[in-house]
Chains A and B, each alone.
Chain A
Amino acid sequence: MGVWHFVEKNLQQVLFLTWEHIFMVALSLIIATAIGVPLGILITKKVNLAKRVINSANIIMTVPSIALFGLMMPILALVGQGLGKVPAIVALVLYSQLPIIRNTYVAIKNVPPSLRDAGKGMGMNKWELLKEVEIPIAVPVIIAGLRTAAVMNIGIAAIAAYIGAGGLGVYIQQGIDRVYPEMIISGAVLVSLFAILVDGLMAGVEHLLTPKGIQLQKRSAQ
């Protein structure tokens, strides 16, 4: 088949582009987590802020990715970074915010009030309550948000090839320009495979980081 032949012939380049793709998605996810999770937790304590933050994240989500890349260009051009990986990563971070913030917010909010009450009644301060009770219980849902963001970003990063960010999207973009079906399909298949792989990987992480007691609780609830 053409795809297999194409990948075999360009193995060196395929590996390099895959690496670029991984780099963009991983780095953006790390930055997005560092922003989104604390923000998600913060807005559970500040109710009037919650609506605004989640709405903003929602609005970013509605901007088409190609348009967001376009918007990034003139802004980041001011610091000389209009093209390449920087605007791509900034856009990916922005896109990740909704699933991450929303999941974190919902997960913490859904901690049963009786548990919060028990913690407070036993003399935990806000920080202890967060660390000992709220976060451990929220972890599975927070990781599920990261998982959504990661898979989504793999797809969006493919489009970042149009602003010169590299990655596997390069094959799709160039394949279209050169009317080279094997190249387009190779790019598409590789991106899809990567997404499936990451989805499975994140499912593993989710399972690994879920406290044992919570897993047992879920099993017995079924």
Chain B
Amino acid sequence: MISYEHLTKIYGEGEDAVTALEDVTFTIEKGETVIFLGPSGCGKTTTLRCTNRLESITRGKILVSGQNVMDMDVITLRRQMGYVIQDIGLFPNKTIAENIAVVPKLMGWDAKKIAARVDELLSMVRLEPELYRSRYPAELSGGQQQRVGVARGLAADPEILLMDEPFGAIDPINREQIQDEFLRLQERLKKTIAFVSHDIHEAIKMGDKIALFTNGRLLQYDTPAMLLTHPKNKYVADFVGADRALKVLGIVLAKDIINPRPRNLVKGEDSAEDVLKLIEEKELRHAIVIERGKPLGYVRPQNLSYEQGPVKDLVEKYPMYISNRTPARDILSYMLMLDLLTLCVVDDNGDFIGTVTYNDIQKKVKESYTSDVETD
């Protein structure tokens, strides 16, 4: 847990004094990821750097697990927090293993324990230890280097991770991927994370909560959903963007809107006649054909008229399936591209687990605006 209490930071003195942070108060709960968001010069990085005392604190205090950071030995304080920064930050003169081993080595672990930990961490960030252990940062791509950066931050298994735009220097495609991996990692590790970003999309995706800064002040501290649907003032609304309804789509996942028992399921061996009758009876637009738990495709009345055989020979295949974790934003985009209003959700084995319809998405977005309860 990290508590910021009336944190104020002033650079310079007298007439040249510049206030970088003014009376910032908020708390990061244990196991939570909080994104410090805002434009450059808003105070987000300063807040992070005050946390491990890379910047001094002018007024107010920061408590880490209840202890004032100013009362702690600065070296001990820093070693018990992982620190991951943008622009590589890996030491070019050290191998990947040596880079990851920096903090354990400073803390005096024995060589055997360090080597084991390095391999464990490399596997954790999906880099083959055998292959990467003794390489140098210059031999790795930007995305791989940043993975090593994350591994290095986690090296001594700190409870707290400070991340300063950790994925900022990576191309968009790799960034998405490394963000996904990090989310999966965090689900397991449950670290307390302070994460600086200037990217609202990243903030919505990665954060349990977002602290939105501007001009050294904390404007709003809320969950991504609340920030998007209930911005406190015009500035927040502007910052999250006029398209914030669309951004809500980024936090709604398929599993939040899935219909596990749609009424238009039919079996592969059902005859065309029966299915046509069912469609007409229930006033459906189409039926989804399931064979041995897997979706085969869909049939529409026009496919079925004057046909007699089993429907499995008549299906139109879905060009793609979605998973439980697909965000509504992507689902909607597929719907528009494919001109389909219903998509099937499948699990890792390709087994049918439900459908998502356009109406479900619309309903969910509307819901998040009208309710005051937090959507998650």
A residues with CB within 8 A of B: 112, 114-115, 117-125, 128, 132-133, 136-137, 211-214, 216-217, 219-220
Residues of chain B with a CB closer than 8 A to A219's CB: 138
State which residues 93-108 of B face A: CB under 8 Å.
93-95, 102-103, 106
State whether B102 touches A136 (Cβ < 8 A): no
B92–A137 CB distance below 8 A: yes
| Complex Cα spacing A216 to B93, Å | 9
Q: Is there contact, CB below 8 Å, between B137 and A217?
A: yes
Contact B94 A213 (CB under 8 A): yes
Given A121, A128, A137, A212, which contacts B52 in the complex, CB threshold below 8 Å? A121
- Residue-wise interface mask of B (60-102) relative to A, using a CB-CB cutoff of 8 A (1 in contact, 0 not): 0000000000000001111100010111111111110000001
On whether the beta carbons of B102 and A132 are closer than 8 Å, the reply is yes
Q: How far is the CB of B376 from chain A (nearest CB, A)?
A: 32
Considering the chains assembled together, what is the distance between the CA atoms of A137 and B94 in angstroms?
10
Closest 7 CB pairs between A and B? A213-B136, A123-B78, A121-B83, A123-B79, A211-B93, A217-B138, A136-B93
Residue B121 is within 8 A (CB to CB) of chain A in the complex: no
Check A117 against B136 for contact (C-beta < 8 Å).
no
**Contact residues in A for B85 (Cβ distance below 8 Å):** 114, 117-118, 121
Name 15 extra pairs, CB < 8 A, besides A128-B106, A213-B91.
A114-B87, A117-B89, A118-B85, A118-B90, A120-B78, A122-B102, A122-B103, A123-B103, A132-B94, A137-B92, A216-B92, A216-B136, A216-B138, A219-B138, A220-B139
B246 at the interface (CB under 8 A from A): no
Counting CB contacts under 8 A, is B162 at the interface?
yes
Q: How far is the CA of A120 from the CA of B86 in the complex (A)?
A: 15
Q: What chain B residues lie within 8 Å of A217 (beta carbons)?
A: 92, 136-138
Q: Given the complex, which residues of A lie within 8 Å of B138, measured CB to CB?
A: 213, 216-217, 219-220
> What is the minimal beta-carbon distance from B181 to any residue of chain A, in angstroms?
21
A211 to chain B: which residues have CB within 8 Å? 92-93
Pick the residue among A132, A216, A220 that contacts B91 (CB under 8 A): A132
Task: Report the separation of the CA atoms of residues A133 and B86 in the bound assembly, to the nearest whole angstrom.
Answer: 18
With A and B bound together, what is the CA distance between A123 and B162 in angstroms? Answer: 13
CB–CB B106/A214 < 8 A: no
- Chain A residue nearest in CB terms to B78: A123
Q: Within the complex, what minimum Cβ distance (angstroms) separates B148 from chain A?
A: 12
Asked if B54 is at the interface (CB within 8 A of a chain A CB), the reply is yes
Smallest CB separation, B168 vs chain A (Å): 12
